[in-house]
Amino acid sequence: MKRAIVVGTGAGGATAAKELQGVFDVTILEAGGPFRPFNVDLSLVEKVKRLGLLFDEREIQFLFPAMRIQKTADGMVLVKGIASGGTTTLATGNALRMDANLKAIGINLDTEFDELPSEVPVSTEHQKRWRPITKQLFEICKEMELNPRPTPKMVDYTKCIRCGECVLGCKQGAKWDSRNFLKMAVDKGARLVERCNVERFVTEKGTVIGVEARRGLKREFYPSDLVILAAGGFGTPLILENSGIECQSSMFVDPVLCVATEWKDAYENK
C-alpha cells in the first residue's frame, strides 16, 4: 500500500487523514501534544490579573499550552491551537457555510456538505436555551431591522452545560472538534505522531518524497508517496518557504470585534 503523510490535525488534516486511511497507509504528524482543556480555576486567574501579573496575552500558554498567542507589529493578537485537533479545539463551533467563492471558480462542494450532518452535529438548538437578556437583545436587533440570525453551531446540546468556556476546550465533549475525525483515522489504522514539528518537505527530481521534521533535539526524515500539508494559516506558509516555495508576506485573518457595555444580569463574567 502506498504511504501518505498528513501534516497537521486540525479541520483540514484530520479530515484528509480520515478519508485517505485505507486507500493509503497514513502517518499524521502533529507539532503539539494531546489536547487537554483548560483546568485552572478562573477565579484564581482573575486574582492574578488584579495583582497586575498578567500583562501580556502570550502568558496564557504557561497555563494553557495548547493556546499559542502571537502579536503582529501593530499589536493585533493572533490565536492558534498547537495540540491534537489544532485550532478547532479552541473555536466556538460556528458552522457557517462559506463556499460561494469556491463555487464561482468551479469547485462544487455540495456532496461534501450533504454528508456533513451524518458526521457533525450542526443546529441552532442553542436558541431554545437563550437567557432572557439574549432574547431581549435579539428582539431589539429585529426591531432595528438588522436581520439577526442565530449562528449554526457544531454542538451536541444534550451534553452542553452552558459553561461559556468553549474557547478553553469543551470539558463535556459537547462541542465538535477535529479530534473526532482524527480518532476515526487512527481507529482505521492511521499512525499519529505527536510533538513532531515538520520543517520542510523533501523533493527529488521535482517530486515530493517525504518531509523532514524535528522531534525534540532529533531530526527525522519521513518518506512518503503523498504529502498533505495542512499545518494551518500560520504553519503552512512557513513550511512552504523552508521548502523553497515563496509565499506572500500577508495573510487573511478573521478579526473578532467585541463591542461591550454594562448590562445587569448578563452573566458574561460567568
* CATH code assigned at 13: 3.50.50.60
- The reported pTM is 0.89
- Judge whether 112 lies within some domain: no
> Total structural domains in the chain?
1
Q: How far apart are CA 230 and CA 136, in angstroms?
A: 41
C-alpha cell at 127: 436558541
Rounded to the nearest integer, the mean pLDDT of the chain is 92
- Judge whether 129 lies within some domain: no
What is the model's pLDDT at position 131?
A: 86
Kindly state the average pLDDT of the residues 180-204. Answer: 97
Banded model confidence at residue 48, pLDDT cuts 50, 70, 90: confident
- Judge whether 109 lies within some domain: no
Banded model confidence at residue 261, pLDDT cuts 50, 70, 90: confident
Banded model confidence at residue 145, pLDDT cuts 50, 70, 90: very high
Q: Does 81 have pLDDT greater than 70?
A: yes
115-124, 209-218, 250-259: which range is least confident on average?
Answer: 250-259
Q: Does 253 have pLDDT greater than 80?
A: no
59-63, 157-161, 194-198: which range is least confident on average?
Answer: 59-63
Is residue 27 a contact partner of residue 194, using CB atoms and an 8 Å limit? no
Give 209's contacts (C-beta < 8 A, 6+ positions apart).
202, 203, 223, 224
Q: Does 99 have pLDDT greater than 90?
A: yes
Residue closest to 94 by CA, chosen among 14, 11, 179, 184 = 11
Q: Does 243 have pLDDT greater than 90?
A: yes
Domain ranges, residue 50? 1-93+165-256
- Judge whether 228 lies within some domain: yes
Q: How far apart are CA 163 and CA 46, in angstroms?
A: 17
- Judge whether 147 lies within some domain: no
- Judge whether 27 lies within some domain: yes
Give 239's contacts (C-beta < 8 A, 6+ positions apart).
7, 198, 199, 200, 201, 229, 231
Q: What is the pLDDT of residues 162-176, one digit of tens each?
A: 888 899 999 999 999
What is the model's pLDDT at position 182?
A: 98
Kindly state the average pLDDT of the residues 134-154. Answer: 95
- Judge whether 132 lies within some domain: no
- Judge whether 247 lies within some domain: yes
Kindly state the average pLDDT of the residues 103-109. Answer: 96
Kindly state the average pLDDT of the residues 131-147. Answer: 94
Banded model confidence at residue 270, pLDDT cuts 50, 70, 90: low
